[in-house]
Amino acid sequence: MKKIALLTGLLLMAITLHAQTEEDLKAAQSIKQDSINDIQSRIDALQAEIDALPGWKIGAFGTIGGSFSGFSNWYAQETPNNDAGTIGFTVNGFAHKNEPKYFWRTDLTLNLNWVKFDDKDDPDDQNGFRQATDVFNISSLYGWKLSEKFALSALGEYRTTILSNFNDPGYLDLGVGGTWTPFTDFLVVIHPLNYNFVFSSDDTIFESSFGAKIVVDYSKEIGKFKLKSNLSSFFSYKSSNLSNWTWTNSFSYTIWKGIGLGFDFGLRDNKQEALNYAINTLGDANATFDSIDNDLQTYYTLGISYKF
């Protein structure tokens, strides 16, 4: 009986010591975590000062996503023998220069995605990868500072697809106006004098016009988290049917040595593209700007990210 009592006492003592040790370790971990957070906040503050220094700042980050699957004699599904897969990537690159009297910002967005679904029992089925997402955008903004937050500016922006129908259509905006920078990493471009050049083999649908260009851009890096959001819009003075806007967003969270998780999504509204799709893809020869369903265009990519 004494042995049982002794063993019970030793066991309770061991449990108590373990609990105390665990609490001590968690308390020490909390202190170290607070120290890490303090260090990271000082690093972020120093990085903000570095970013504000004159000279070129060049960088890029992107997302890679993909999946592959294969089925053989899987009778529970409609196509028991198939190979399927998706692969895509996004690259956001920039070259920014900030001087006391002027700034120059050049940005690139590239998003490409391919999909595959090969039904092995269908000899006429396409067995290769097909282009699914195709986005290319490059812009260059120059501003002459009138104050710390406002500048006279000129913008050139080009948008198209590159995997298929390169420059058909393609959009080139050239304009002048003003840029407002209320705080670091955020800017609003308002150019009431802008010409939207549209390049296309079908000039009965696509038309260039004069109008206003408005761009809102925000990019931020907080520790391991990085985001970039860009809204580019054109408002035609000739007709609202010739107006368009595109909103792209990229998020990444670094986990280890530049590798992490990334998510990209984009929205677009372009009535000229919708009419072109109705006539030349769906074969609706009687389609007009008034009769088509101008559905919102969207895309997204989720996968592994890498910071260059």
* pLDDT digit string, tens, across residues 249-279: 988 888 887 788 888 888 999 999 999 888 8
Rounded CA gap, 109 and 139, in Å?
Answer: 9
First-to-last CA distance in the chain? 69
Same domain assignment for residues 168 and 43 = no
Same domain assignment for residues 170 and 277 = yes
Q: Give the tens place of pLDDT for each residue, 53-74.
A: 667 888 887 778 777 788 786 7
Nearest C-alpha neighbor of 142 from the set 123, 155, 160, 126: 155
Same domain assignment for residues 41 and 186 = no
Look at strands 150-160 and 130-145 and give their pairing: antiparallel
Same domain assignment for residues 106 and 164 = yes
More confident residue, 249 or 90: 249
Backbone angles phi, psi at 45, to 5 degrees: -65, -40
Peptide bond into 182 cis (omega under 30): no
Q: Of 4-8, 84-88, 126-130, 284-288, which gets the smallest average pLDDT?
A: 4-8
- CATH number, domain of 256, equals 2.40.230
Rounded CA gap, 86 and 77, in Å?
Answer: 20
Domain coverage including residue 150: 56-307
Mean pLDDT of 268-291: 89
Same domain assignment for residues 36 and 163 = no
Q: Give the tens place of pLDDT for each residue, 162-195.
A: 887 888 889 999 999 999 999 888 999 999 999 9
Backbone angles phi, psi at 224, to 5 degrees: -90, -5
Same domain assignment for residues 220 and 298 = yes
Q: Out of 9, 35, 51, pick the residue that ends a domain.
A: 51
What is the domain count for the chain?
A: 2
Same domain assignment for residues 149 and 11 = no
Sign (positive/negative) of CA torsion 157, 162, 167, 170? negative
pLDDT at 242: 94
Same domain assignment for residues 172 and 292 = yes
Q: Give the tens place of pLDDT for each residue, 197-249.
A: 999 887 788 999 999 999 999 988 888 888 899 999 999 999 999 999 999 99
Same domain assignment for residues 174 and 220 = yes
The pTM score is 0.75
**Cα dihedral: 108, 130, 250, 230 (round 10):** 50
CA 115 to chain CA centroid, Å, is 19
